[in-house]
Amino acid sequence: MTAGETQRDAARHVDVDVLPAAGVEVHGAYKAFGALTVLDGVDLTVAPGTVTVILGPSGSGKSTLLRAINHLEPLDRGYVSIDGDPIGVRRVGDRLKERPEREILVQRRRIGFVFQDFNLFPHLTAVENVAAAPVATGAATRTRALGLARDLLARVGLADKADVHPRRLSGGQQQRVAIARALALRPSVILCDEPTSALDPELVDDVLEVIEDLASTGTTLIVVTHEIGFAREVADQVVFLDGGVVVEQGPPSQVLDHPVHPRTREFVGRVL
C-alpha cells in the first residue's frame, strides 16, 4: 500500500459535517450566445444522494448546463431548483425575477463546484485555499475554518500537503485540493466540470478515486466527464447531451451498453 493510499484509507474515518443531500431539477433550460443556441429546453431531475454523469461531445452544452445549476451562467428561459427552491431567481406572479446578488451568494453555499482547471489561489497554501470560502462568507472563524480545511485535506489524502502552495503540487494534487475546497461550505450538491481533463493520464485515477469515495457518502453529485469507466461504475444515471438537447438518459447499463439513439451509439462507440 502506498503512502497516498494509506492517507486516503485513514481519511475515510475523518468526521466532516455535510448537509443533507438535495435534489436538483432543471426546468426547460434555454441559453443562447448570440445566434448559437447552447441549451435548448433541457429538463433534468437528479434525486437526492445520487450520482448523475453528463456525457456529450465538445460544444454540446455540458459545461453551460453545469454552470447554470449554480447560476454562474444565468438562463435566458427556464430555471433550476434545488429542493424546490429556484436558484438565482424568484417567482413574482407568473414571471421569474433575478434575485439580488447577496441572495444568490447565499444559495451558492449549498452548491460545491469543482472546475477542470483547479482555480486555486496561487499565493495561498492548500489549507488556506480550502479555508478561504468559510472565512469570507462568515460561515466559520479563521481558526475553525483552518481546522476544517485540514480535516478535508486528510479526507482527500493530502494531510501532508496542507502547508504547500499550489505551484509545488502536481495537477492531481491540485484537483484534490479543489475538491476539498468544494466541500468546505458543507454543500448539499457538488458539481464537477470535467475534473480530470487537465490532468496527465497517470494522475486521473487518483482524482476519480476521491470522487468515487465522495459518491459513496451519499452526496448528490453531477459530473461532466468523458471517463466512461467511471460513469459505468459510479453513476446512478447517465445523461447524453448533444446540441443542447438531452438525447438519451437512463442507468449506465442502458445508455452505455444498450443505447437506443443512433447519436448516443456513435458517441459511446467512439470513446470506448
Tens-digit pLDDT profile for residues 15-44: 445 568 999 999 999 999 999 999 999 999
Q: What confidence score (pLDDT) does residue 198 get?
A: 87
Tens-digit pLDDT profile for residues 64-115: 999 999 999 999 999 999 999 999 999 999 899 999 999 999 999 999 999 9
- How many CB atoms are located within 10 Å of the residue 172 CB? 22
Cα 33 to the center of its chain, rounded Å: 23
Unique residue bearing C-alpha cell 493510499: 5
User: Is the pLDDT assigned to residue 255 strictly greater than 70?
Assistant: yes
For range 154-158, the mean pLDDT: 94
Mean pLDDT taken over the chain: 91
Confidence of residue 5 (pLDDT cuts 50, 70, 90): very low
Q: What confidence score (pLDDT) does residue 165 get?
A: 98
In contact, 211 and 204? CB cutoff 8 Å: no
Q: What confidence score (pLDDT) does residue 272 get?
A: 73
Rg (CA), the chain: 18
Taking alpha carbons only, the member of 244, 247, 197, 246 closest to residue 64 is 244
For range 184-199, the mean pLDDT: 93
DSSP letters for the chain: --HHHHHHHHHTT-----PPP--EEEEEEEEEETTEEEEEEEEEEE-TT-EEEEE--TTSSHHHHHHHHTTSS--SEEEEEETTEESSEEEETTEEEEPPHHHHHHHHTTEEEE-TT----TTS-HHHHHHHHHHHTTSS-HHHHHHHHHHHHHHTT-GGGTT--GGGS-HHHHHHHHHHHHHTT--SEEEEESTTTTS-HHHHHHHHHHHHHHHTTT-EEEEE---HHHHHHH-SEEEEEETTEEEEEE-HHHHTTS--SHHHHHHHHHH-
User: Is the pLDDT assigned to residue 145 strictly greater than 60?
Assistant: yes
Cα(41)–Cα(174) distance, rounded to whole angstroms? 35
User: Is the pLDDT assigned to residue 11 strictly greater than 80?
Assistant: no
User: Is the pLDDT assigned to residue 8 strictly greater than 70?
Assistant: no
- How many CB atoms are located within 10 Å of the residue 138 CB? 7
Q: What confidence score (pLDDT) does residue 1 get?
A: 43
Q: What are 190's three cell numbers?
A: 457538488
For range 253-270, the mean pLDDT: 95
Taking alpha carbons only, the member of 65, 93, 94 closest to residue 80 is 65
User: Is the pLDDT assigned to residue 2 strictly greater than 70?
Assistant: no
Q: What confidence score (pLDDT) does residue 202 get?
A: 85
For range 129-137, the mean pLDDT: 95
Contact partners, residue 34, CB within 8 Å, separation at least 6 = none
Q: What confidence score (pLDDT) does residue 13 get?
A: 38
Higher pLDDT, 7 or 18: 18
Alpha carbon distance, N-terminus to C-terminus of the chain: 30
